[in-house]
Structure 1
Amino acid sequence: MKKKKLIYLLTVFLLIIPFLSYADGNRFVVVIDAGHGGKDPGAIGKIINEKKVNLGIALKLGEMISKNNPDVKIVYTRKTDVFVELQERASIANRAKADLFISIHTNSAKSKSAFGTETYTLGLARSEENLEVAKRENSVILLEDDFSTRYEGFDPKSTESYIMFEFIQDKHMEQSIDLASTIQKQFRSAAGRNDRGVRQAGFLVLRNTGMPSVLVEVGYISNASEERFLASKEGQTKIARSIYNAFCDYKAGYDRKQGRIYNKTDNAKNNKETAGKNIVPVSGTKKTQNNTDEQTKTRQIVYKIQFMTSTAYYGKKSSRYKGLSPVSCYKENGLYKYTCYEASDRNDLQKKLTEVRKLFKDAFIVGFKDGEKLK
């Protein structure tokens, strides 16, 4: 009897472990947004329309996540062929208090030879091509009632309307770019797709979301070969699998930064971050010398709290730091990443991390050795 009871308790414990990994008792929430739908077909192909491709991939992605990640809650902006207003898609994510937003779209171009995948984060379009993609995706608001009032006079066809995105400071920029980069890597390595890179543009659906967000263009429906691939079950599965693998990488890194456990059997590879170089001192700290080789080796590893990421360099003193001092920063992948406090023992920063998160909720601890960020 005791043996049966022990087996029962062990089974229950193993089943609830994934949910115990979150201190607040909530599951990780990902919103999957199948672009277009209903009266809005999106890009029109010869054998299939964009709205159907997007939905097929979104449902397959959601199925993969739910099957292998019991600690993840999936919210869809649509699961059928219905029209959902652009602003409502973002509102669905915000109401769900999502940790991640993935919007799936299919590209189109005047050139029939254009092909490949690209993943967007929020920002100012630096090229005419990126701007045209944003204009096309944002034009869906023209199908909405009273869109001018709802979107505060934003004209999706006017280039001037997109100037506003130059001044947007997205606090989730780093996480969004990390996920976008991983998605593109998976497209290239796992699905053999042409990698058109990570890009930025002024997408309204990303502007209104309050969490790390990406918009994935899975291929060109205007290219006959790609259209056949995207219309097929095999093609949609390959695309969904690539995004799923990237999601697992992202979530593993997210859990690690939050100090939470995660299931390594979820097909999630360890999140490998490029070692940070080009250290940019904002305010210097003195190094202490040690007498023995072992002490010197220990002192080489320094832990800091990273609290903010930006495309801009703010210098030694800035109101953006909200009183944190001293502050230093390092440059990685074209972004300035700001840190505060430091200690040779990671555990010594836990109390400080709690304080910093009251000002910057996404702050986390990062380690450096000999001036380079630990992987």
Structure 2
Amino acid sequence: MKLYLDPGHGGSDPGASGNGLKEKDINIDIALRIRSLLTTNYENVQVRMSRTNDSTKSLQQRTNEANRWRADFYMSIHCNSFNGVANGYEDYIHNLLSDQSRTANYQDILHDEIIKVNRLNNRGQKKANFHVLRESTMDAFLSENGFIDNSKDAALMKQTSWRQKVAEGHVNGLVKAFKLNRKTTNPSPGDPSNPNTLFKVIAGSFKSKKNADARVTFLKGKGVEAFVTTATISNERWYRVQAGAFSNRKNAEERLNTIENTGVDAFIEI
């Protein structure tokens, strides 16, 4: 399955903002987590992203790139805003598609999986004439993951653990929709009967090793042991800071809380 993953906005286009957050930052954080979960854990998955950093890219460039690549699915990640009062999650497919279309079926599956984990008010499944839904030649889906100008939704967006759960919800939907197979070298997540299950605490991913080393030094200064590992994701080399690997998820969550109390974002990877 070839997934074109599109974190909305970026660069000179910050998207919506509120409560000290910018939409472009939340979008790419969730999208990078989706990519990592898919490429690490599932077979026969290729992921191409419209951006992997804070860069500017037009809507036309994004859909042209997805079309040239002949992606199987276009997934666009966004956050919403309105009046500070509106809140919740909603997702979209193109307004000319019928409820019986293949895209609508994918939306049904994705919506159900995402709302299981995102702790947001369910605003339902919708249709719209958005550029990325109209101009992409493959099935396309756009998620609006909360209202950034709503204090309750924004409080969740600030939590690394919440962004990881939202990413997992999107991945769970893709796994069901496209019948993806888990890599045999990776155990089923959270399976206590599998002694090989490890919950790794990742405290940052960097293109620069110097930045990764600086993060390790900072954490060690706070009494947290950490080291740098490397990972290749979509043909790009990343330096990741690992701060523990645990067979018990509770222990991993305790380490995660310790790290986040230092002001560093972290997440648990299986």
Specify the alignment match of 2:150 in structure 1: 223
The answer to whether residue 126 in structure 2 is matched with residue 199 in structure 1 is yes
The answer to whether residue 27 in structure 2 is matched with residue 54 in structure 1 is yes
Aligned ranges 1:312-331 → 2 under 5 Å = none
Between the aligned partners of 1:227 and 1:190, the Cα distance in structure 2 is: 16
Aligned length: 187
Specify the alignment match of 1:122 in structure 2: 94
Q: What SS is found at the alignment partner of 1:213?
A: strand
Between the aligned partners of 1:71 and 1:51, the Cα distance in structure 2 is: 29
Q: Which runs of 5+ in 2 are unaligned?
A: 190-270
Could you give the per-residue CA deviations for residues 130-169 of structure 1, whole angstroms, max 9, x where no partner exists?
A: xxxxxxxxxxxxxxxxxxxxxxxxxxxxxxxxxxxxxx5x
Identity of aligned residues (%): 30
Change (3 A) 1:49 1:173: farther
1:172 shift after superposition: 11
Aligned pair partner of 2:141 in 211, 214, 218: 214
Specify the alignment match of 1:38 in structure 2: 11
Change (3 A) 1:36 1:172: farther
Aligned ranges 1:116-195 → 2 under 5 Å = 116-123=88-95, 168=96, 170=97, 174-195=101-122
Between the aligned partners of 2:66 and 2:108, the Cα distance in structure 1 is: 22
Between the aligned partners of 1:103 and 1:76, the Cα distance in structure 2 is: 10
Between the aligned partners of 1:92 and 1:200, the Cα distance in structure 2 is: 23
Specify the alignment match of 2:166 in structure 1: 239
Aligned ranges 1:26-105 → 2 under 5 Å = 28-105=1-78
Specify the alignment match of 1:19 in structure 2: none
1:171 shift after superposition: 8.9
Change (3 A) 1:71 1:49: same
Q: 1:101, 1:211 within 8 Å by CA — same for their partners in 2?
A: yes
Between the aligned partners of 2:150 and 2:51, the Cα distance in structure 1 is: 26
1:75 shift after superposition: 0.3
Specify the alignment match of 1:249 in structure 2: 176
Between the aligned partners of 1:173 and 1:211, the Cα distance in structure 2 is: 16
Aligned pair partner of 1:106 in 62, 75, 79: 79
Between the aligned partners of 2:182 and 2:160, the Cα distance in structure 1 is: 29
Could you give the per-residue CA deviations for residues 34-73 of structure 1, whole angstroms, max 9, x where no partner exists?
A: 0000000000112110000000000000000001113100
Between the aligned partners of 1:182 and 1:219, the Cα distance in structure 2 is: 19
Between the aligned partners of 1:51 and 1:218, the Cα distance in structure 2 is: 12
Q: What SS is found at the alignment partner of 1:32?
A: strand
In angstroms, what is the RMSD of aligned CA positions? 2.2
Q: 1:109, 1:222 within 8 Å by CA — same for their partners in 2?
A: yes
The normalised TM-score by structure 2 is: 0.65
Q: 2:91, 2:142 within 8 Å by CA — same for their partners in 1?
A: yes
1:122 shift after superposition: 0.5
Between the aligned partners of 1:55 and 1:198, the Cα distance in structure 2 is: 22
**Which is worse superposed, 191-200 or 84-93?**
191-200
1:173 shift after superposition: 7.0
Q: What SS is found at the alignment partner of 2:21?
A: coil
Structure 1 stretches of at least 4 aligned residues deviating more than 6 Å after TM superposition: 264-268
Letter in 2 for 1:70: E
Between the aligned partners of 2:69 and 2:173, the Cα distance in structure 1 is: 22
1:198 shift after superposition: 0.7
Question: By percentage of residues, which structure has more strand?
Answer: 2
1:204 shift after superposition: 0.9
Q: Which has the larger radius of gyration?
A: 1
Q: 1:172, 1:212 within 8 Å by CA — same for their partners in 2?
A: no
Q: 1:107, 1:221 within 8 Å by CA — same for their partners in 2?
A: yes
Change (3 A) 1:85 1:94: same
1:193 shift after superposition: 2.6
Q: What SS is found at the alignment partner of 2:43?
A: coil
Aligned ranges 1:249-268 → 2 under 5 Å = 249-252=176-179, 262-263=181-182
Q: 2:114, 2:173 within 8 Å by CA — same for their partners in 1?
A: no
Between the aligned partners of 1:210 and 1:86, the Cα distance in structure 2 is: 14
The normalised TM-score by structure 1 is: 0.47
Letter in 2 for 1:217: E
